[in-house]
Amino acid sequence: MDLGLAGRGYIVTGGSRGLGRATAEHLVADGAQVLVVGRDAAQAERTAQELSDGALAGGELTERREGMAYGLSADLADAGAAAAILEAAQRHLDSIDGAVLSVGGPPAGPLRETTDQEWRAAFEQVHLGPLRLARTLLESATRPLAITFVLSTSVRTPLPDLAISNGLRPGLAMAAKTMAQEYGASGHRINCVLPGRFDTDRVRELEKATDDPAGHRAAHARTVPLGRLGQPEEFGAVAAFVTSPIASFMTGSLTTVDGGQTQAL
């Protein structure tokens, strides 16, 4: 399906790896210009180059620089990151049409073992950082934007051993719905996509922290109606669709992508 992304410009944070990268791949493949933002400068540049090379291999590039990616190092927890990302997007992209805001998950652990410092650091990174960037983009917009927050199924139901995520993600989802109400009259769309467990570096790190990574993965897969973990490209396709012009009447929505695991509505 042609998502209507050709010639449009998007920002993808957390875009150098995992679900963010998978989303950026779909956007670039459909002809979008993408600013890939990550905390590791070398990785962000490498990912951008790989995505652009992939577009070249597919023969999709035109004089309008469709299907291109650019890398930028920035940490959303930094109060100055939003302005820096906006400036880079204005410099690299022909237009800014939206953003997919993904950040790494906060530290795992039960609530009774978390510290105040861990909560403060996670709030800056996971909650305030994406919210600040979304607000910055919306307030500077010269055309309707599509903002997609990549959150977690912890918005709908608490996940074991992920207390901080359980505490912060639902609040950001409600803030996103509030933004959809406040900015809708200007044509802006704000949505959330809630991934379950996917085969990413982050998940593999969590598995390695257990005494039986293979057994842990197999046990989790048994809780998923489809019987497996998701592949990042499966998530990226949904995030790209939600952010695309094809989803033009979709805003304030929370879309779950988890193989059917979440039992809550």
What's the confidence (pLDDT) of residue 91?
Answer: 97
CA atoms within 13 A on the CB side of 242: 26
Q: What is the mean pLDDT of the chain?
A: 93
Return the higher-pLDDT residue of 202 and 164.
164
DSSP the chain: ---S-TT-EEEEETTTSHHHHHHHHHHHHTT-EEEEEESSHHHHHHHHHHHHHHHHHTT---TT-TT-EEEEE--TTSTTHHHHHHHHHHHH-S---EEEE--PPPPPB-GGG--HHHHHHHIIIIIIHHHHHHHHHHHH-SS--EEEEE--GGGTSPPTTBHHHHHHHHHHHHHHHHHHHHHGGGT-EEEEEEE--BSSHHHHHHHHTSS-HHHHHHHHHHTSTTSSPBPHHHHHHHHHHHHSGGGTT--S-EEEESTT-----
CB 99 within 8 A of CB 32: no
**Nearest-angstrom CA–CA distance, 257 and 126:** 19
- Over residues 8-35, the pLDDT tens digits come to 999 999 999 999 999 999 999 999 999 9
Percent of the chain with pLDDT over 90: 83
What's the confidence (pLDDT) of residue 65?
Answer: 56
Q: What strands, in cross-sheet order, belong to the sheet with 69-73?
A: 69-73, 33-38, 9-13, 98-101, 146-150, 189-195, 254-257
φ, ψ for residue 261 (rounded to 5)? -70, -40
Binned at pLDDT 50, 70 and 90, residue 104 comes out as: confident
Q: What is the pLDDT averaged over residues 209-219? A: 88
**Nearest-angstrom CA–CA distance, 10 and 135:** 15
Homologous superfamily in CATH for domain 9-200+233-255? NAD(P)-binding Rossmann-like Domain (3.40.50.720)
Percent of the chain with pLDDT over 70: 96
What global pTM score does this model have? 0.93
What's the confidence (pLDDT) of residue 54?
Answer: 77
- Over residues 143-193, the pLDDT tens digits come to 999 999 999 999 999 999 999 999 999 999 999 999 999 999 999 999 999
- Over residues 108-151, the pLDDT tens digits come to 899 999 999 999 999 999 999 999 999 999 999 999 999 999 99
Cα–Cα distances in Å, from 182 out to 188, 231, 233, 247? 9, 34, 32, 19
Which of 22-26, 55-59, 202-206 reaches the highest mean pLDDT?
Answer: 22-26
